[in-house]
Amino acid sequence: MSSYPKINPADATVLITGSTQGIGLATAKAFANLGARVAIGDLNEDLAKTEAQALDALGGYLDVTDAESFANFAKATQDNFGPIDILVNNAGVMPNGAFLDLDPQVDQMTIDVNVFGVVNGMRTVLPQMINRGRGHIVNIASLAGKFPVKGLAIYNASKFAVVGLSAATRLEYAAAGVSISAVLPSAVDTDLASGLDMRPIPKVTPSAIAEAVVASVGNRRAEIAVPSYVGGLATAAGLTPEPMLNLIRKAIRDDRALSQDAPERHAYRSRINDQAANSSTAQKRVK
């Protein structure tokens, strides 16, 4: 049993980032179905408001890379629903390709979204959670935060960072009654992994991840792999001698993420390239 103060999802305020599609939207629906007061934050403000209306939730603009934007959306959430009980840091991007072929702008954006987006969220909500003596934060990491994959070097780096950040801050704030959990999905059947053949790593549905996020409110576990057995496989891989592991990697063709040429991935890659370019332009204007 968890020693953290209990949180009833049916009477909780939940802020979810990157929540107009995929894991984020599935999680918003799962909490809303339980009766939670849900806030849907996303770069696509119109879509956030549309999805929120269908769930009787709050929808609005949220750029997780901008601490002020996060603070503004958190304030709007609290003004509408009261103190935030649960934060789900879900927003993320996953560019693929050989390390030296990746666009530095996309690299920067990946770290900004996947790492500092989580940092900004935690720094925004942790103080009020600590003051209240209760709260729960879920950081959507990845199996790639435990297991490196060719073609996902920067994504790997970002998710390893989220796993470490979650573990360290969990230790720091446990005594304050605030739990921090990292959810580690394998490949997920969303735009993020579109066109990538990651076999034998299983693809799971967004709803399966949402179920794990909701369950974490009760179990408050430090790390939650989805499906559960992939966590054990990642641990086993870390204990396997490198020559043997390399043979296994070769047998399963672990280099497929190096290719950027899958037609199914063109739209997603174009979108994150545009996002990176816009982010870079904004940073230059600030300077």
Answer yes or no: 229 catalytic.
no
Contact 21, 46 (CB under 8 A): no
Catalytically annotated residue among 155, 173, 229, 268: 155
Q: Are 55 and 29 in contact (CB under 8 A)?
A: yes
Q: What value, to the nearest 5°, has the Cα angle with vertex 258 and ends 255 and 264? A: 110
Q: Which residues of 21-54 are buried (b: 16+ CB within 10 A; e: fewer)?
A: bbbbbbbbbbbbebebbbbbbbbeeebbbebbee
Distance CA 95, CA 138 (A): 23
Distance CA 252, CA 140 (A): 26
Other CB atoms within 10 Å distance of the CB of residue 166:
24
Question: Which residues are designated catalytic?
Answer: 155
